[in-house]
Amino acid sequence: MRRVYTAHMTAASRHAPVPRRAGGERPLRLFLALWPDEATAASLEDWTRALLPRCGGRAMRRDTLHLTLAFLGPTGAARARELAGALGAWRAESGSFAVVRAGRFNRLRLVWAGPHEHGPDADRLARLHASLWDWLAPMGWRPELPFRPHVTLLRDAGPPPPDFSPGPVAWRYDRVALAASVAEPAGPARYRILATSLGGRPGPSR
């Protein structure tokens, strides 16, 4: 599998070099994530449309949907360039999982979609998360805990109904993206892809 989500990422927020600034350089809010392909993103958007009238809030745009593996936070542009270059030579383990449930982070009022909490899909994502942080550690990064794989669908929203069950969404991946959250003068932040890893090596058989 070699074109798991590249087309959607390119359409969403064109790959771009890490910006250079004269004088002081503004830190970039970085994170590493899985990005869905067009079909997967469309299915997740269907979930969003189904939940919006029942939960209220603000829907995330299709091009912003992603599953964060590592939040790195504000990072200087020079270090971001170093990380972007290194990621281009790193090969993640490829795999797949199913988005099967919706939930809410009550304090943040975020409605999310995600895989089962336990089982093979959860184990596969936990393994990818751990391998990514093992790779980041020699560069001085430290993991945030715990890892709760999810895709944010709605902000400022109420809880999803307990009977919400639109059917699973299959998500295949073979690359990890380095992205920057770019604040807009008006409206929500946008995400810009700075680099992606190499195509993934096959994961262990089930």
pLDDT by residue, tens only, the chain of 206 residues: 333 333 344 333 434 555 454 445 678 899 999 999 999 999 999 999 999 999 999 999 999 999 999 999 999 989 999 999 999 999 988 999 999 999 999 999 999 999 999 999 999 999 999 999 999 999 888 887 789 999 999 999 999 999 898 899 999 999 999 999 886 655 566 899 999 998 877 766 55
The residue count for the chain: 206
Are 94 and 202 within 8 A, CB to CB? yes
How many other C-beta atoms are found inside a 10 Å radius of the C-beta of residue 167? Answer: 10
Q: What is the CATH architecture of 6-17+27-55+63-96+117-149+173-200?
A: Alpha-Beta Complex (3.90)
Query: What confidence score (pLDDT) does residue 76 get?
Result: 92
Q: Give CA–CA dist 169/108, Å, rounded.
A: 24
Query: What confidence score (pLDDT) does residue 129 get?
Result: 95
- Which one-letter DSSP state was computed for residue 108? T
Q: Give CA–CA dist 109/156, Å, rounded.
A: 5
Are 32 and 131 within 8 A, CB to CB? no
Query: What confidence score (pLDDT) does residue 205 get?
Result: 52
pTM: predicted TM-score of the whole model, two decimal places: 0.84
Nearest to 40, CA basis, from 57, 63, 23:
63
